[in-house]
Amino acid sequence: MAVSRSSELVGRVVGGRYRLLRPVGSGASAHVYVAEDVRLKRRVALKLLHPALATDAAFLRRFQAEAQTVAALRHQGIVRVYDWGEDAGNAYLTMELLEGGSLRSLLDSGRRLSVSQVAALALDVASALAYAHARGLVHRDVKPANLLFDEDGHVSVADFGIARALAEASWTEPLGAMLGTARYAAPEQLKGAPLDGRADVYSLAVVAVESVTGDVPFSRDTALGALMARAGQPLSVPGELGPLAPVLERAGTVSPEDRLSAEAFAQGIAMVARQLRAPAPLPLPGIAASSEGVFGREPTELAGGHRRPHDAGITILVDDLEIMAPAPGAGSPSTHWPESGPPENGPPENGARAATATGPPVRATAAEPVAGTVALHRAGRGGRRRWLQRSLVVAVAVVLLGGAASAVLVLKRPAPTYAVPRLGGEALGDARAVLAGDHLLLAVVGTQWDTAAKGSVITQYPLAGTSLRAHSTVGVTVSLGPEPVAVPDLSTLDLAQAISELRSDRLRLGRVARRTSMTVPDGSVISWSPRGRRVLPGTAVQLVVSEGRPMAVVPPEAASTSFAALQAALRGAGFKVAELTAYSDGVPAGDVVSVSPSAGTREVVGSTVTVIVSIGPHTVTIPAGIVGLSADQAGKVLLRLGLYVYEVQGSPLAPVTGSQPAVGTAVLYGKSVVLVTR
């Protein structure tokens, strides 16, 4: 049962259980139907996937696992999954039927949500995402077409697990469909990086902005320009979002590490919602108004606008008939009547051409003729002459249509296809030339840092070997070269540690200079260059390493050198000076007695040199108090003063009556004194 046109399968029973009642939408990977569960007698939504997916064993395994996981979810904001299976070459999924339509259909009708309405919607969706993320499920494809309403206006998230299964399938969607979905993708999703729930939060923030403003953020002249802009800029939230703007900006950061989780996003919206008025009920579009997707199709920049029905071929007006010659690949030519409908009694008498300014022609409801013929009403009462004139016109139209039908038969032959070549490693210009040789086009859909040479192709979509028609587009991701790395902080590290740090950051050691330093210890890094920048891996980093403090010679000194002069010389050489005083019999007071460390030695600049300065000779005055004391007592007094008793003249037992030198005389410290007794 290969899927061709979704309406052709209406009435069939899928999986022996689900009778297809009517189609409600089509997408690049599936058709969606309203179906009846003939066992449980209830209506469900049935998604019938592309036949190519049924032959992908890896996809089917992933599809089954995801369906089982999603079926276990129990949250009012997540569309329930009832069943999955395969039927005559098609994989299918049955889900809860929500008949309020999709947010995509609501926005496509020209309506915009108020801040209160979008706050309520985003809060419900964020809560559902937080529930799923806590159970290890990431949606990967949050967009308006996957947000469905029930009859009461409550929103639910559809297609959990489907995006991941499709991402791992060997079958790929057309480039236009991929770029359409990518309008809501997080920057890390566009780069192919591993995803977590914060990618869904970014997508929801984009949906919220579009719901209020009507514009998807990062709109550019081309889809590729929009994708590139998003990869390097945070989400800019317009003023129309009012108090929601700060929360949405935190949900729209480029780096997922700086982005809110779904739970934190829901909490932030809840705080804002308490300050807003109660939202008005949403004008639900219903699923009858939906186009494609789950119950709605995401437009893409490549898809363009909707075609009018008669744009598919060549229209020829003959009186009241509008005859359409089919375009290549279309069916039989069809007949259109003007908006007023077919004439009751044949063509009008005046033979005028039908006006089409009042609206597009409406397809005739009568059975259409076979190719190369035109169903004409009889001429009625017109004269034979007028009838012959009109017959001639009709004959010309038949001939033209016959030629068109012949062309259609020729064009219906299978169009030639070309295998997509392998482009990995090719320079961008070479890759474009290779594709041109196979009648294919190239589009750069992304860039990223890579070890491959700058400007070379690192990934492609579709993969090599895929068959495409002529002039189809192959999307490629181009290398920006190796990602720059930050030069690390090397302060406080010694040379060995600095080399290890550079190697761990994929940098190498450049020239090493040695320099003394008053503050950096010997062997440690003083400075490095480049510093505070991001550079390419393998860049050489120049180091300046400390040799410790500088050395200087202690200036020479002489006994006649004054302390003031020596102090100035020591400080000029970078030394600190410590002054000590001492008695000196040979050095005048104020002059230098000695220096330590000694003059002429090399010492560390900044160290201390001790200078001993003379305060002159040390003298002691013989005290008068020794008179009347015994010789023994007087000797002890003199000894405490640094003088010695050399001799006692007289009886050693008699009291002291004087001394030589005489009492009151100043003598050098350590001199001998003669005591005189009675």
Which active-site residues does the annotation give?
A: 141
Q: Which sign, positive or negative, has the C-alpha torsion 288, 290, 204, 69?
A: positive
What region does 190 belong to: left with phi over 0, alpha with psi -120 to 50, or beta? alpha
What region does 192 belong to: left with phi over 0, alpha with psi -120 to 50, or beta? left
> Is-contact 130 259, C-beta < 8 A?
no
DSSP 121-156: HHHHHHHHHHHHHTTT---S---GGGEEE-TT--EE
> Cβ contacts of residue 224 below 8 Å, gap of 6+?
179, 443, 444, 445
**Kind and range of the H or E element at 648?**
strand 644-649
396-to-350, 362, 393, 402 alpha-carbon distances in Å? 20, 23, 5, 10
* Alpha-carbon 316 to chain mean position: 54
Structure tokens at 535: 């550079």
Tokens 């703007």 correspond to 245
> Is-contact 150 43, C-beta < 8 A?
no
What one-character DSSP code corresponds to residue 655? B
Query: Checking DSSP bridges between strand 608-614 and strand 576-582, what pairing results, if any?
Result: parallel
CB-CB neighbours of 508 under 10 Å? 12
Residue type present at position 301 = E
Reduce the secondary structure of 83-123 to three states and give it as a string.
EEEEECCEEEEEECCCCCEEHHHHHHCCCCCCHHHHHHHHH
At 340 the three-state DSSP class reads coil
Tokens 């015994």 correspond to 630
Backbone angles phi, psi at 615, to 5 degrees: -115, 20
> Is-contact 46 19, C-beta < 8 A?
no
First to last CA, the chain: 152
> Is-contact 567 577, C-beta < 8 A?
yes
**What's the order of all strands across the beta sheet hosting 457-461?**
441-448, 473-479, 457-461
Q: What whole-number distance in Å separates Cα of residue 476 and Cα of residue 10?
A: 39
Tokens 């040479």 correspond to 453
> Is-contact 573 552, C-beta < 8 A?
yes
> Is-contact 203 143, C-beta < 8 A?
yes
